[in-house]
Amino acid sequence: MPSDTPLRVLITGATSGLGREMAVQLARRGARVALTGRREDKLKEAAGAVRDAGGQTLELLGGVDDPAAVRRHYAQIKAAWGGLDWAILNAGISEACYARAFKAETVRKTFATNVLGAAYWLEAVIPDMILAGAGRIAGVASLAGYRGLPGHGAYSASKAALIALLESARVDLRGTGVSVTTICPGFVKSELTARNRYPMPFLMETPAAVRIILSGVERKKRVVSFPWPMAFFMRRVAAHAPDALYDFLAARSGPMKKADA
């Protein structure tokens, strides 16, 4: 990270979990951090934590699923800082989505935030980064995107879509100076995982997960997946397992047993 000029960073979904911790850790390095979030009280609290950590901040209230809000937020960033060096597309939601009580609305809402929310920001920041010949984009997907997890069809599908979207953008942007990193965490302590009532193997503390993420973005890694035992299993084993074997194992996982209860 350059020491002479403060890094200009966008973090979407920055009011809690990975987003908030990324903002604080970057602020400790002197970065200017633009935070987006839907909850005004949480947004103000996160911005205060950034300032306490030594960083400058912009508070951008609103959801990433609103393209008008995204355009307005990016205009505010350009007016204040002239542009961005990093865009970390972290906003995401997760709701149970059991096929036995399937609701298409759950899929629509999940894709609106997890996929379209990232797409609106990609549309906003890529042209200026190409003009500048530099920039780093990171999208927070999930190891859940490598297979359809029982009880989490909408979430898994949205993260699979985001993985493919970011991969395509990464290839298209070769030679422009703009790097794209796909972040695929396993279970990390957050408001989302706190709702889970089933075993979460290799559950990570948020600060440790964020250190891995920021290191990967700094190094322009194509994919950052962790923790390594879960990443190895999902990307190298489960993703290539015969469908019959995957179905057998997944049907005995915590989420499915909860659905059967």
Q: Active-site residues: which are they? A: 155
- Residues of 84-106 as b/e, b for ≥16 C-beta within 10 angstroms? bbbbbbbbbbbebbbeeeeeeeb
DSSP 8-state class, residue 99 = G
Please report, for residues 161, 163, 179, 188, 245, the alpha-carbon distance to residue 114 in angstroms, rounded to integers and kept in the order given.
9, 11, 20, 17, 29
**117-132 and 67-81 are packed helices; what angle lies between their axes, rounded to 10 degrees?**
30
Query: How far apart (Å, rounded) are the C-alpha atoms in residues 23 and 18?
Result: 9
DSSP string across 105-129: HHHHHHHIIIIIHHHHHHHHHHHHH
133 exposed, middle or buried (CB, 10 Å; 0-12, 13-18, 19+)?
exposed
Tell me the CB-side half-sphere exposure of residue 252, using CA atoms within 13 A: 5
Query: 78-84 long-range contacts, Cβ below 8 Å, gap at least 24?
Result: 78/128, 81/8, 81/32, 81/34, 82/8, 83/8, 83/128, 83/129, 83/132, 84/8, 84/9, 84/10, 84/34, 84/125, 84/128, 84/129, 84/135
**Which residue type does 193 have?**
T
